[in-house]
Amino acid sequence: MKPYDVVFEQALTRVDPERIHHAAFRAIRAATPVTSRLVRTPLERRAGATSHVNAMGLAFPHPLGLAAGFDKNAVGIDGLAALGFGHVEVGTVTGEAQPGNPQPRLFRLTADRAIVNRMGFNNDGAEVVARRLAAWRAAGGGSILGVNIGKTKVVPEEEAVRDYEKSAGLLAPHADYLVVNVSSPNTPGLRDLQAVEKLEPLLAAVRRRADEVRPNHRVPLLVKIAPDLSDDDVVAVADLALASGLDGIIATNTTISRDGLASPRAEVERIGAGGLSGRPLTDRSEDVVRLLRERVGPDLTIVGVGGITTVDDARRRLAAGADLLQGYTAFVYEGPLWPRRIVRGLARGQ
């Protein structure tokens, strides 16, 4: 058992998950001056030389990045990158600031190495995050940065395009790539936007707005989809991505399914609604990646996320067709050394 496992099981599980998240994130940010100066091992230097990924016109140092949701407000990008993530995706950011859903809204299912969240896109809003990112860039921030944008809860569906356009206009100038999130289960009506007839005009509007604010640089645009889409709907999104010139697809977000869990049913029912992440997503997320790759061919970028815990998980997701990988829940359960373990493991397999 790793030292972090002992701390997690004996101490961290006794405290509310959201409180632990904020405390751990403060520690990560405070440690940045130290972690950013750590000398990498020869193996890690070889990993950087051999594991780089060219995707969407960007040069990623290796495949593994941090999924959106951990750093919602872009306050700790450097600290997270210093832990070994090759890219960091911040957000989800909405057009307007919002507090999110009532607490408690973050829960662990430790028997499944899973998390249930119904955070509800709590964030400082696009204007504040844009100012923060501008200051970060001005200070020399150079990590590959994705910005994930979503719909403000109080904005009605018929005004969703305008809301996403506002976020894109403010945030695209600072992003290496932009992600349209239409797949969180925690904003009412959001997943309805995954339907192709609604998704197509939304993506077109975001693309136009991003091009307007950065006329001399095309910011790659991706869409993040749910694992709960049927195979036919996954194929439809893949076809739309090709037809609309999308740069990539992130597969997948959290699931509303509770099938096949090891956790007691009473515990699952007590927790209630929310998006489930972690190991239970492994198989379905891998299947969606494989289905997408078969449909879109070799050129469109696919980011595999959902249930990636071990080096073998990472290798299988890459073999299924992912160009890049992201993690979140495994980072919580496995601790701050997890990203470097995955990167080193992938390098050994080359």
Mean pLDDT of 327-335: 96
Q: Taking residues 15-26, report their average pLDDT.
A: 93
Instruction: State residue 325's pLDDT score.
Output: 98
Tell me the domain boundaries of the chain: 3-348
* 205 known member of a binding site: no
pLDDT tens digits, one per residue of 21-68: 999 999 999 999 999 877 454 444 554 455 799 999 999 999 999 999
Residues 127-177 have pLDDT tens digits of: 999 999 999 999 999 999 999 999 999 999 889 999 999 999 999 999 999
Q: 209 CB contacts (<8 Å, ≥6 apart)? A: 165, 168, 169, 172
What pTM was estimated for this model as a whole? Answer: 0.94
pLDDT of residue 348: 86
The one catalytic residue in 183, 184, 277, 285 is 184
Residue 250 and residue 310: Cα distance in Å, rounded? 19
69 assigned ligand-binding residue = yes
pLDDT of residue 10: 52
Instruction: Flag whether 72 is marked binding.
Output: yes
Residue 4 has pLDDT above 70, yes or no: no
Q: Is 117 annotated as a binding residue?
A: yes
Q: Tell me whether residue 73 is exposed, middle or buried, using C-beta atoms within 10 angstroms of its C-beta: 0 to 12, 13 to 18, 19 or more.
A: middle
pLDDT bucket at 12, cuts 50 / 70 / 90: low
Q: Do the annotations mark residue 331 as ligand-binding?
A: no
70 among annotated binding-site residues: yes
Is the predicted pLDDT of residue 6 greater than 80, yes or no?
no
Of 332, 335, 319, nearest to 346 by C-alpha is: 319
Tell me whether residue 184 is one of the annotated catalytic residues.
Answer: yes
Q: What angle do CA 284, 238, 274 make, to 5 degrees?
A: 45
Task: Band the pLDDT of 287: cuts 50, 70, 90.
Answer: very high
Top-level class of domain 3-348 = alpha beta
Average pLDDT over all residues of the chain: 92
Name residue, tokens 């904020």.
Answer: 22
**120 annotated as ligand-binding:** yes
Only one residue has tokens 């193996």, namely: 43
Determine whether the annotation assigns residue 121 to a binding site. yes
Q: Side chain identity at 184, as an amino acid letter?
A: S
Averaged over 193-216, what is the pLDDT?
92
CA dihedral (67, 68, 73, 79) in degrees, to 10, reads: 0
